[in-house]
Structure 1
Amino acid sequence: MPDIVKAKPFHEYMNEYRKQVAKGDIKEAYRGLMEYIMDLRSHFQNKYPDYFVSGNIYYGYMDMTYFSFIPESLKQQKLKVAIVFVHDTFRFEVWLAGYNKQVQAKYWKLFKESGWNKYRIPSTTKGADSIIECTLVENPDFSDLDSLTRQIEEGTLEFIKDVEGFLSKQ
């Protein structure tokens, strides 16, 4: 059992979880969201064959769900781009991350010390999964999935272009 601070005992959360799952809405919403993210991953994989798209989706613990989308230029530097749905804030984001914690720390320091502030930089790498972050869609409209996909795609490509531009000057 993870060592987390809880407002009430675990069994009370599980009782509420059981009630919510029994209603069916959460289960259907989660299933629909995961299917959309699988379709989004396939869209990127099919439309951008020169990019590496992760074979798996990280489904998370209802905190975040993401997949990687990596151009060769970033892959060579052991960097990756993650297209992320953040459950708590209910938004899509794109993150630059390292292949490991050492790479992440190196590039986080580079961005932090450069004064570049086009995107959010976490205050520390401890406990963080990203080097820099960008909100793609603040309040996603799931009634128009084609438009949502376009927003995510355009924002991700702009983010990658900006990151590549920054790194080319370093």
Structure 2
Amino acid sequence: MPDKSLNDRITAYKQAFASGEIQATYQSLVGIVQGLRTEFSKKYKGEFSVASVMHGYIDFTYFYLQNAYLKSHQLKLAIVFNHQHARFELWLLGQTKEVQIRYWEKLKGIPWVNPTVMPEYSVFDVTLLAKPDFDDIAGLSAAVHTAFGALSAQIFSTLQAYG
């Protein structure tokens, strides 16, 4: 089935925005990510530098974390809110596509790395929180921090082992 033209999709686009729910929900979700970024910045001060919140198109909202080890290897971690799946993810990113490919090749045997297809934007992406409770921000935040602490420790030990 051929794609509809942009003109053919505009009616549905306008209808989706008409109620204002999409805009309000998007802003609330971005606010949650901004709150997490502030918490990470305070909690990991001196351990990680934490970048500002970035927006993908309408698909991802994220912030980067980097420490001396990651920087020396041209890598970054990103806490990502995936809007399509309404979940939080942790991505390992390379500063360039070549760095990402090199690390993807090295890490193919690791459980969180898809050995057949490299993600478009990262070496790998792992779900941190699959079903966030957006009505319990404190619990959501605690769950993201706990998952990040456990997973980042595994990632660093794996990176050091695989060089």
TM-score of the superposed pair, with normalisation by structure 1: 0.86
2:92 paired residue number = 96
Contact 1:79 1:96 in 2 (8 A): yes
**Structure 1 residue 19 displacement after superposition:** 2.0
2:124 paired residue number = 132
SS in 1 for 2:55: coil
Give the AA of the match of 2:50: V
- Structure 2: how far apart are the matches of 1:20 and 1:168? 47
Number of equivalenced pairs: 161
Q: Between the two proteins, what is the percent identity of the paired residues?
A: 32
Please list every run of 5 or more consecutive structure 2 residues that lacks an aligned counterpart in the other structure.
Answer: none
Contact 1:122 1:132 in 2 (8 A): no
Please list every run of 5 or more consecutive structure 1 residues that lacks an aligned counterpart in the other structure.
Answer: none
TM-score of the superposed pair, with normalisation by structure 2: 0.89
Does 1:48 pair with 2:44? yes
User: What is the 5 A alignment of 1:9-158?
Assistant: 9-50=5-46, 51-55=48-52, 57-112=53-108, 115-117=109-111, 119-121=112-114, 123-125=116-118, 128-158=120-150
- Structure 1: how far apart are the matches of 2:145 and 2:44? 11
SS in 2 for 1:169: helix
Question: What is the CA deviation profile of residues 33-54 of structure 1, one whole-angstrom value per residue up to 9, with x for unaligned ones?
Answer: 1111111111111111121111
